[in-house]
Amino acid sequence: MSKKIKIKSASEAANKVIEWGESRNIETCFDRAEKMKPCPIGETGACCKMCHMGPCRLVGKNAEEEVRGVCGASLATVVARNLVRMAAGGSACHGDHGRDMAFTLLAVANGEAKDYRIKDVRKLYRVAGYLDIEFEGRPVNDVARDVATKLIEDFGRQRGEMNFLKRAPQKTQERWKKWGIAPRGLDREIAESLDRTTMGMDADPESLLNHALKVSLANGWGGSMISTDVTDILFGTPTPVKAEASLGIFKEDEVNVVIHGHEPMLAEMLVEVVSDPEMIAYAKSKGAKGINLGGMCCTANEVMMRHGIPSAGGLTNQELSIMTGLIETMVVDVQCIMPALSELSKKFHTKFITTSPKARIPGARHIEFDEHRAKEIAREIVKAAIDNYPNRKSEGSHVTDKYPVVAGFSHEYIEYMQGGKFRGSFRPLNDAIMAGRVRGVVGLAGCDNPRVPATGLHKYLATELIKNDVLIVSTGCSSVACGGAGYLTPEMALENAGPGLREVCEAIGIPPILHLGACVDNTRILTIASAMAAEGGLSDEIGGMPAVGIAPEWMSEKAIAIGCYFAASGVPVIFGGESPVRASKEVTRIMTEVWFERFRGALVFEPDPEKILAMTLDYIDKARAALKLKKYEPGKFGTEKVLMDMAARREIEKAARPHLGL
């Protein structure tokens, strides 16, 4: 790379493409981030545009209490209202994803979406159990219809509580009840968020922030959890799978199709269609050797977790992948799609296709997805890509960098890997934490961001945390960032993990960073934390565990909603970048001190990555001390049960099921 170019991404492959683009005056999000300075008032949460007496800029040298808008709203009120609206926006987006999944399950159960079938019946029964739906001896589709119907009803529930709340530890639920944040239906909490924050409504920052927690819980333990469960039911619960990541996944001699966004319904069909012999023959008739499907952002995570489809990257790689010049079609579903892709694709031969009525982009070709005709639509898209192959020009930055990845760690598999099908539990992990072999657990999540060297904070924190014997569970673009750096392999543990974590990873043959899925799959972390609480020996609720959530490069309202539902569930969460609530000391105090007192979680903003690391280890060590666990000392462990390796697990299964001749 030439010296004069400022590092924009922490990925070498990304920087090569950025440099190539700069030499041809092709603008990307990195250039726009440089040109577009954040609004200094809005960035701190101090701008109120809820009515037309303003917008009011609540700035000035006076004390916080004295700064008021035209209506007299205080700075704390305005900042809190803005946070509630962000949480509601994020909850609506991820929640709608869950709703779409539930409607697809209903269509499958009714025989109306014939290209799909239920792949994980065991998971369907497990979810039916949570919902008190009888499943023994009933036809699978009847159970699925009841499950889908009950889940869909939960979105619009007007009274009572959402069904999945009862999956949380009892003590965690009691805290929600005590502080009035156990959500009814997701739709009701979103409507109330908009209602409360309108001019002349709720002006009490504490009450407003309570509602930010409530609407976010409706997403975390409702919309997003429904998405994770239904996706597993329909497309299979992930188990470890090998894949590859980074911009070098594209093939020069094949038709390259990129699927980008979040929802996996179309992506699942594309996986089938690209390996259809008829389609491959058609691609060969156009001079290509085959069809190569790659993923982007969280749709990539969905199909990587279940099929080993490679990922080209996260948020900041979407434009760069088109700039490789190798993409025949980029097809998008919903969420995190930069409108810039439309104009950019015209500079290359790439066909840019939108598919959701909720995410139309001017200049794109629109082929609307409909789960009732899923395969037919997927075939139309792949055919359009093949037809475009002869139009490929030599123009583009053909990078070759790619890394091996091991993904596919569902919470069910994590339980299985700790004891096999018949003795699966979280006992070994809890024991390893109690003995100090594993210092604690961090959920590393969230977006990558062009305002920092993109993916760099994920990489820094991932390596430093595992050095400190912290097990990482990752999701979303954080997983993509780690995968694109070669961190999601068991070898990463051998080379970089502290001695205790290394031993644990070696015993079971896992990476020290477990890829749990897309950003809706943060709910898998809630399930794991609940299982650890139920297992005993640590905290008997999610709060108080030696566990922290980090989103060092977040940018989306969805991240705010996730941060809030983790805080309400009892997890201290640290976000990178400047705080969107920093205009108000009062709001900052409530989100850190008051939330910690009430729920044992918090949402803290800290731009300095070294401080994020120090705060994380401090939270973990304080939780260990409060639980009276052995003081963490690298290389010095207490005694605990040894984690079972693969051979030991097979032995147990063999003994339990001799007829299978395993």
Find, among 172, 133, 180, 131, the residue nearest to 154 by Cα. 131
Determine, following the binding rule CB under 6 A, whether residue 260 of this chain makes contact with ligand MSK: no
Confirm or reject binding of residue 95 to ligand MSK (CB under 6 A). Answer: no
User: For residues 324 and 334, what is the distance between their CA atoms, to the nearest angstrom?
Assistant: 23
- Mark 294-313 with x for binding to ligand MSK (rule: CB under 6 A) and - for no binding: ---xx---------------
CB of 90 to ligand MSK, least distance (A): 8
Q: Is 589 helix (H, G, I), strand (E, B) or coil?
A: helix
Shortest reach from residue 638's CB to ligand MSK, in Å? 37
**Cα distances (angstroms) measured from residue 236 to each of 95, 273, 280, 306:** 21, 18, 25, 7
Is the backbone peptide bond immediately before 55 cis, with ω within 30 degrees of 0? yes
- Shortest distance, position 266 Cβ to ligand MSK, whole Å: 16
Give least dist CB 302 to ligand MSK, A.
10
Helices (H), 260-368: 264-274, 277-285, 297-307, 318-323, 340-346
Contact 299, 263 (CB under 8 A): yes
447 near ligand MSK (CB under 6 A): yes
CA trace torsion 5, 10, 11, 12 (10° rounding): 40
Nearer to ligand MSK, 298 or 378 (CB): 298
Q: How far is the CB of 326 from ligand MSK (least distance, A)?
A: 22
Which 606-645 residues touch ligand MSK, going by CB under 6 A? Answer: none
Q: Does the protein bind ligand MSK through residue 145 (CB under 6 A)?
A: no
Q: How far is the CB of 452 from ligand MSK (least distance, A)?
A: 14
> What is the nearest approach in angstroms of ligand MSK to the Cβ of residue 443?
12
d(CA 584, CA 79): 7
Query: Given candidates 558, 598, 600, 624, which one binds ligand MSK under the rule CB under 6 A?
Result: 558
314 binds ligand MSK (CB under 6 A): yes
Token pair, residue 657, equals 């099921």
Q: Three-state SS across 606-622?
A: CCCHHHHHHHHHHHHHH
Cα(534)–Cα(201) distance, integer angstroms = 41
What the block records as the tokens of 1 is 């790379």
Going by C-beta distance under 8 Å and a sequence separation of 6 or more, which residues neighbour residue 585? Answer: 64
Applying CB under 6 A, does 315 fall inside the site for ligand MSK? yes
Q: Which is nearer to ligand MSK, 317 or 463 (CB)?
A: 317
Question: Which of residues 56, 208, 432, 477 is near ligand MSK by CB under 6 A?
Answer: 477
Which of residues 78 and 344 has its CB atom nearest to ligand MSK in the complex? 344
Nearer to ligand MSK, 46 or 518 (CB): 518
In the numeric block, the tokens 């939780």 are attached to 623
Question: Whole-angstrom Cα distance, residue 299 to residue 518?
Answer: 7
Residue 267 binds to ligand MSK (criterion: CB under 6 A): no
Among 309, 519, 529, 560, which residue interacts with ligand MSK (rule: CB under 6 A)?
Answer: 519
Q: What share of the chain is helix, strand, coil (3-state, %, to 5)?
A: 50, 10, 35
Nearer to ligand MSK, 192 or 333 (CB): 333
With respect to ligand MSK, which residue has the nearer C-beta, 352 or 389? 352
Closest separation in Å from C-beta 391 to ligand MSK: 29
Query: Do 179 and 597 meet the contact criterion of CB atoms below 8 Å apart?
Result: no
How many other CB atoms are there within 10 angstroms of residue 26's CB atom?
A: 18
Strand 241-245 versus strand 291-296 pairing type:
unpaired
* DSSP symbol at 392: -
Is residue 533 part of the contact set for ligand MSK (CB under 6 A)? no
560 lines the binding site for ligand MSK (CB under 6 A): no
Question: Using alpha carbons only, what angle is made at residue 388 by residues 385 and 393, rounded to the nearest 5 degrees?
Answer: 125
User: CB of residue 157 vs ligand MSK: minimum separation in angstroms?
Assistant: 26
CB of 558 to ligand MSK, least distance (A): 5
Report how far residue 527's alpha carbon sits from residue 123's, in angstroms, rounded to the nearest whole number: 14
Q: At its nearest, how many Å lie between ligand MSK and the CB of residue 311?
A: 11
Nearer to ligand MSK, 208 or 477 (CB): 477
Is the Cα torsion angle 149, 151, 152, 157 positive or negative in sign?
positive
Strands (E), 32-113: 47-48, 56-57
455 forms part of the interface with ligand MSK (CB under 6 A): no
User: CB of residue 274 vs ligand MSK: minimum separation in angstroms?
Assistant: 22
Decide whether 90 or 440 has the Cβ nearer to ligand MSK: 90
Nearer to ligand MSK by Cβ, of 332 and 533: the residue is: 332
Q: What is the CB neighbour count within 10 angstroms for residue 287?
A: 12
Shortest Cβ 456–ligand MSK spacing (Å): 15
**Quick one: 90 or 511, whose CB is closer to ligand MSK?**
90
| Cβ-proximal residues to 49 (8 Å cutoff; 6+ apart), any chain | 55, 56
| Residues making up the chain, counted from first to last | 662
Nearest Cα neighbor of 6 from 454, 462, 609 is 454
Q: Nearest approach, Cβ of 518 to ligand MSK (angstroms)? A: 6
When the beta carbons of 336 and 602 are compared against ligand MSK, the nearer one is: 336
Q: Exposed, middle or buried, 475 (CB in 10 Å: 0-12/13-18/19+)?
A: buried
Asked whether position 446 contacts ligand MSK by CB under 6 A, the answer is yes
Q: How far is the CB of 474 from ligand MSK (least distance, A)?
A: 10
Specify the residue, 332 or 406, whose C-beta has the smaller distance to ligand MSK.
332
> What x/- string results for residues 206 through 245 when contact with ligand MSK is judged by CB under 6 A?
----------------------------------------
Least Cβ distance, residue 305 to ligand MSK (angstroms): 13
Among 228, 231, 246, 556, binds ligand MSK (CB under 6 A): 556
Instruction: Tell me which residues in 332-371 interact with ligand MSK (CB under 6 A).
Output: 336
- Does residue 264 belong to the site contacting ligand MSK (CB under 6 A)? no
Identity of the residue, 346 or 358, whose beta carbon is nearer to ligand MSK in the bound complex: 358
- Pick between residue 75 and residue 267 the one whose CB is nearest to ligand MSK: 267
Do the Cβ atoms of 97 and 520 come closer than 8 Å?
yes
Among the listed residues 476, 511, 563, 609, the single contact to ligand MSK using CB under 6 A? 476
Residue closer to ligand MSK, measured from CB, 388 or 475: 475
# residues near ligand MSK by CB under 6 A: 14
Q: Which is nearer to ligand MSK, 48 or 477 (CB)?
A: 477
Task: Quote the crossing angle between the two packed helices 297-307 and 224-235, to the nearest 10°.
Answer: 40
If phi > 0 it is left, if psi is from -120 to 50 it is alpha, else beta; for residue 389 that is: alpha
317 touching ligand MSK, by CB under 6 A: no
| Interface residues toward ligand MSK, by CB under 6 A | 262, 297-298, 314-315, 336, 446-447, 476-477, 518-519, 556, 558
